[in-house]
């Protein structure tokens, strides 16, 4: 039982459930399906999976920094540079495992935080205000946007 009942139950449920939708879509994709793209020049399903994992790594650290420190600097990352330099052509299993493990870990932390903790913030160059609540909302939106991108890429391959 959590010390603080989840202060944002709907937000927390959406945050944790978005991984289920991603897991269902990924299922047992073939190598050909992993190379599917919505359009030429767009990211492949494989690249999207790696991006989701890298974003989860960044946001898991951001969450922890905002909860542990007062107004930490939130450093953005260049997603295109990550795609080019972090070998996004590799197998996806480790990225899938990373994504799900970090989301579960962050979710367990969020289940414990107080109402005031949801308002803790960091300084981010790309956002005027960046709180724990905004980070979680942005994660949900990010998951859904890339889930739809994966679905469109797979549909275009049919």
What domains can be seen in the chain, in order of their start residue?
9-157 (1.20.120.450)
- Residue 140 in tokens: 């949900």
**Mean pLDDT for the stretch of residues 93-107:** 97
For 117-140, write each residue's pLDDT tens digit.
999 999 988 877 899 999 999 999
- Show the tokens assigned to 86: 């972090």
**Whole-prediction pTM:** 0.92
- Token code pair at residue 17: 């459930």
Q: H/E element holding 55?
A: helix 45-68
End-to-end Cα spacing for the chain: 46
Separation of CA 3 from chain center: 26
């Amino acid at each position: 039982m959590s010390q603080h009942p989840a202060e944002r139950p709907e937000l927390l449920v959406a945050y944790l459930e978005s991984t289920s939708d991603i897991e269902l879509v990924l299922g047992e994709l073939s190598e050909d399906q992993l190379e599917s793209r919505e359009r030429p020049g767009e990211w492949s399903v494989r690249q999207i999976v790696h991006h989701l994992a890298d974003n989860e790594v960044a946001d898991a650290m951001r969450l922890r920094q905002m909860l542990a420190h007062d107004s930490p600097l939130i450093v953005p990352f260049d997603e295109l540079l990550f795609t080019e330099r972090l070998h996004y052509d590799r197998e996806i299993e480790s990225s899938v495992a990373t994504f799900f493990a970090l989301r579960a870990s962050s979710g367990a932390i969020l289940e414990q935080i107080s109402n005031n903790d949801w308002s803790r913030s960091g300084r981010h160059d790309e956002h005027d205000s960046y709180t724990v609540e905004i980070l979680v909302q942005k994660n949900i939106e990010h998951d859904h946007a890339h889930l739809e991108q994966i679905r469109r890429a797979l549909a275009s391959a049919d």
